């Protein structure tokens, strides 16, 4: 079956991306099947699975990464968020990076594609069921000397870290292998 038309931009990103390992290859194969089957992956109305975009933000030297202290996961993590109807996942990643850090980001090389489990939780006082994020992570660049601003709805801190420390400062065990794979793609 062909990919549904609303996912043409996403399919083009996938066509130009070489998986880094067997897990990413399997995630991409599953993602293609989902894009042939579900017509609502760009919105959270699909409560089981939907598209998200994240970013690994580095400074101009490529030695530091900008991370947020995530309020739900209680961990330093990448920036990112839901597509909310937008098929241009790079635009979503750039928008989310700005909203969560105050940083102006440029770039946009696709680093990784993952299907990520999200545990049931509460957001803004409401329950959110366990579901899957069909996530595209992009490499972005920001000025490490520019002012930063946390977004209290999403995070309670924003800071630059030495890039190699990313797996060390992350306290989400499921994300450490994802971050290690992304670092190997740089």
8-66 pLDDT tens trace: 999 999 999 999 999 999 999 999 999 999 999 999 999 999 999 999 999 999 999 99
Q: Give the DSSP H/E element, type plus range, for residue 41.
A: none
- Asked if residues 42 and 3 have their Cβ atoms less than 8 Å apart, the reply is no
| Alpha-carbon gap, residue 54 to 56, rounded angstroms | 7
Cα distances (angstroms) measured from residue 78 to each of 30, 34, 40, 96: 23, 25, 25, 10
Residue range 7-20, pLDDT digits in tens: 999 999 999 999 99
Number of C-beta neighbours around residue 49 at 10 A:
17
Question: Do 105 and 98 form a contact (C-beta atoms < 8 A)?
Answer: yes
Alpha-carbon distance of 164 to 168, in angstroms, equals 8
CA dist., res. 26 & res. 133, Å (int): 15
Closest CA to 86 of 44, 116, 129: 44
d(CA 175, CA 101): 20
Cα distance between residue 38 and residue 158, in whole Å:
35
CATH code of the region 5-184: 3.90.79.10
> What ranges do the domains of the chain cover?
5-184
pLDDT at residue number 76: 97
Average pLDDT over all residues of the chain: 95
């Amino acid at each position: 079956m062909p990919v549904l038309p609303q996912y043409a931009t996403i399919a083009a990103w996938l066509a130009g991306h070489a998986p880094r390992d067997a897990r990413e290859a399997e995630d991409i194969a599953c993602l293609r099947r989902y894009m042939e089957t579900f017509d609502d992956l760009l919105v959270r109305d699909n409560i089981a699975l939907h598209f998200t975009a994240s970013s690994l933000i580095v400074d101009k030297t490529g030695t530091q990464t900008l991370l947020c202290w995530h309020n739900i996961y209680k961990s330093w993590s990448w920036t990112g968020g839901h597509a909310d109807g937008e098929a241009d996942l790079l635009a979503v990643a750039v928008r989310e990076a700005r909203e969560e850090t105050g940083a102006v980001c440029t770039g946009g090389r696709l680093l990784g594609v993952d299907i990520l489990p999200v545990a049931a939780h509460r957001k803004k006082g409401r329950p959110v069921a366990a579901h899957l994020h069909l996530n595209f992570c992009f490499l972005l660049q920001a000025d490490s000397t520019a002012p930063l601003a946390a977004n209290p709805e999403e995070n309670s801190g924003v800071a630059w870290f030495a890039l190699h420390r990313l797996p060390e400062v992350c306290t989400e065990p499921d994300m450490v292998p994802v971050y290690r794979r992304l670092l190997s793609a740089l």
